[in-house]
Structure 1
Amino acid sequence: MPSSRLSTLLGTTLRRQRELHGLTQRDLAERSGASQAAIARIEQGVRAPTVAMLERLLTALDLQLTVGVEPLDAQLDARIDALRGQTVAERIATLGLDRMLDRLGDLPYVLTGATAALLQGAPVPVDDLEIIVAWRDAERFAGWLERYYAQRWNPRWEEFGYLPADPREPGEHRWQVVGGVLRASMVDELPAAVEVRHADRSYRVVPLALVEVTEPATADLMRRWRTRHASSAD
């Protein structure tokens, strides 16, 4: 399933190995006989490769697939532990968060979810840039999505594309855009926000306490982080 942890892990592993071999996606496509578009989707985690496809891609890198098992969500715990070893500034840089926000320009928004939690010091993994946008700005937002070639998440096909990108059209408010994946909550009025500052930049975010109440997925990550922090402190 393209949105699964395993799909993301396979895509990240393939990209890292390709880059370690000094190859572009086009180079790997020529070596493996796969299309560059297919490789891009696998690396982005939006398409789960078949075993045969994965073996073909790895063979082109002089690698082979091995299979193992580990405790459930061990990879998630490893991501949290890695983030704990970074400063907030390092986490922001790793995500390329500022570049993504620069592209939003003057669109009114507030950061929420795991993005807001990370900016407020919580070492939680961020897979999508999460923002809140008011419905009155939907037309501006639609224009922005068009300008940045947004492809909307299609749950039927479990990949991005084949749906109108306009947030006023039916569908999930999640898009693949230049620079990453964006998830938006559309509301009548933007919530009260606090301003946090890192280096020379300010970020308008939903307060952490409110994030934990309104964002169940982020609340789960926060509980997981606190549990691990408490266990390591013992």
Structure 2
Amino acid sequence: MSSARLTTLLGATVRRQRHLRDLSQRQLAELAGVSQTVIARIERGDRAPNVPVLERLLAAMDVQLVVGVEPLDAHLDARIDDLAARPIAERIDELDLDRLLDRLPDLPQVITGSTAALLQGAPVPVDALEIALRWQDSKQFTRWLEANYGQRWNARWGEFGGVWLEPEEPGEHRWSTRYGEIRATMCDELPTTIEVRHDGRGYQVVPLVELELTEPRAADLLRRYRARQLADGG
């Protein structure tokens, strides 16, 4: 694991534990006896925390750091193996996917990325609905976000909020809403899709072969899954 990746992982761990306890950065800073600026830089991945500071932050949240070693990316391989053993319907329910899709505005959209891969049977990790939207529909999408407590991902601060909602504004096309997280690919024209069905419901999805050409994140996960199949003799 590279030092940059470790810094990002530690920052994400601190942020996740803080969110689980509904603590603001200022509240955690007061509990741990450090400045809010230090916490902000750690959570953004701008600064690698030294061990004493990290221990103080975690102890303030009643947890502690456990150190171990494993093969590179073993956690991701284990996750893929776990997902391969679970029914697709169960994973759809876990994401609350249908509820979010039913509440999206009535505008042209297709499912892409890792969400599309999941619906086509690939056991890849999915933590948000990924859709493709047309630029010409962005204003309608923005109005829906405003009505549903949307917050846009702020890469500088490593959390949602504090930046403009509109897709036209600079930043990642990633939002949290009252119904779940959405990641969008903005395009002039929607990609070609196929329909897949689960429990009587149809989903318009970008085919796997197209995902591997156009979606780097999903493509990396699909290649990793296929490599594991080959290694296992599948």
Pairing 1:87-106 to 2, within 5 Å after superposition: 87-106=87-106
Q: What's the CA shift for 1:166?
A: 1.1
TM superposition score normalised by structure 1: 0.76
Q: What's the CA shift for 1:115?
A: 0.6
User: In the aligned structure 2, how far is the partner of 1:11 from the partner of 1:199?
Assistant: 37
User: In the aligned structure 1, how far is the partner of 2:179 from the partner of 2:120?
Assistant: 22
Partner of 2:190: 190
Identity of aligned residues (%): 52
SS in 1 for 2:232: helix
User: In the aligned structure 2, how far is the partner of 1:71 from the partner of 1:93?
Assistant: 31
Q: What's the CA shift for 1:83?
A: 0.3
Partner of 2:222: 222
SS in 2 for 1:233: coil
Q: What's the CA shift for 1:57?
A: 5.2
User: In the aligned structure 1, how far is the partner of 2:165 from the partner of 2:201?
Assistant: 30
Moved over 6 A (4+): 46-51
Moved more, 129-138 or 92-101: 92-101
Q: What's the CA shift for 1:8?
A: 5.2
Q: What's the CA shift for 1:196?
A: 0.8
Partner of 1:67: 67
| Alpha-carbon displacement from aligned partner over 1:72-126 (angstroms, at most 9, x marks no partner) | 2111111111100101111111222222222214232101011100100000011
Pairing 1:50-199 to 2, within 5 Å after superposition: 52=53, 61=62, 63-199=63-199
Indicate how the Cα distance of structure 1 residues 101 and 143 shifts in structure 2: closer, same or farther if over 3 A, else same: same
User: Paired residues, what number?
Assistant: 215
For structure 2, the residue ranges without an aligned partner over 5 or more in a row are none
Q: What's the CA shift for 1:162?
A: 1.8
TM superposition score normalised by structure 2: 0.76
For structure 1, the residue ranges without an aligned partner over 5 or more in a row are 19-23
Indicate how the Cα distance of structure 1 residues 157 and 57 shifts in structure 2: closer, same or farther if over 3 A, else same: closer
Tell me, yes or no, if the aligned pair for 1:55 and 1:65 is still in contact at 8 Å. no
Indicate how the Cα distance of structure 1 residues 7 and 131 shifts in structure 2: closer, same or farther if over 3 A, else same: farther
SS in 2 for 1:223: helix
State the superposition RMSD in angstroms: 3.4
Indicate how the Cα distance of structure 1 residues 196 and 11 shifts in structure 2: closer, same or farther if over 3 A, else same: farther
Tell me, yes or no, if the aligned pair for 2:14 and 2:57 is still in contact at 8 Å. no
| Alpha-carbon displacement from aligned partner over 1:42-90 (angstroms, at most 9, x marks no partner) | 9xxx7679665775555654x5332223222111111111100101111
Indicate how the Cα distance of structure 1 residues 209 and 147 shifts in structure 2: closer, same or farther if over 3 A, else same: same
SS in 2 for 1:136: helix
User: In the aligned structure 2, how far is the partner of 1:129 from the partner of 1:73?
Assistant: 24
